Amino acid sequence: MTAFWRDRNVFVTGGTGLLGAWTVEELLARGAHVVCLLRDETPQGRFWTAGLRDRATVVPGALEDHDSLLRALNEYEIETVLHLGAQTIVGTANRSPRATFEANVRGTWNLLEACRAIATVRRVVVASSDKAYGDQPKLPYEEDAPLQGRHPYDVSKSCADLIALSYWHSFRLPVCVTRCGNLYGGGDLNWNRIVPGTIRSVVRGERPVIRSDGTFVRDYFYVQDAVAAYLHLAQCMDDPALHGEAFNFSNETQVTVLELTRRILQVMGSTLQPDVRNEAKNEIKRQFLSAKKARERLGWEPRWSLDDGLAATVQWYRAHLAAT
């Protein structure tokens, strides 16, 4: 399937983020012409340190700027759009809901409006989240569950998800939506997230901090599995029967935050004890996904176990932190 991407023009939002940088790298390796929307210069990120900034075409701009999006899609004759860009931090959303809604909600409809206007666009994959489901009585979440976010970040993802699907139902824009659990992997420099934060604390000989009470249950999905899932879905979208569908992607391994922290400590050979602060607000207690639909409709399977993904992630951060 690698040949599928050769010489294809792909527009990636959020290319400097965790998922985005790994996706851009994989697309370039498969021979695609990658165009990235770039809002900020952050030279310490993987997009720069892995040399992706010099290999992809960069368009300065933001999701809030419809004209920049329209120009980029038109000028570079974009065929595939991977909308990975968003404000992704729950705490930031709680502090700055307006900015989060601007980026995640208005940014999504701006991009979809631009896609609707450009005839070359043949497939659009929009990154939603398990947070779009909100708090549900039935677990694991399946794709037909209602989208009922309540807190700012969750609501922004519920809205963007619904908007994306409305562009299929109303305008037949070829859109699919992805909903993943908590992504982790090398290159995430948001140190307040549990995986990179724990690893950095252990490298520094400090107790890792858990903001919640440690009992919150989540999916943790390795970034390279997510990249493979996104690209596989985009390839499958040559089948119009998939348009307007949402797909959960997960390795279907649910763990508490405390258990995840202890697994990282074990991988790192550390005897440090977590500092459990029970300070988290506006977060859902239990969230995890069923990936049955993706397995049956797309023939997709994850390749990385949680322990293997954590081992690879620890290795990446040890090298990164030693070099900085």
Catalytic residues: 153
CA dihedral 41, 154, 223, 250 (to 10 degrees): -170
How far apart CA 324 and CA 31 sit, in angstroms, is 31
Residues 6+ apart with CB under 8 A from 7: 31, 32, 33
Sheet strands side by side (includes 254-256): 182-184, 217-222, 254-256
CA distances from 165 to 119, 162, 173, 227 (A): 19, 5, 9, 21
Radius of gyration of the chain (CA): 19
Q: Contact 180/249 with Cβ under 8 angstroms? A: yes
Q: Contact 214/274 with Cβ under 8 angstroms? A: yes
Residues 6+ apart with CB under 8 A from 51: none
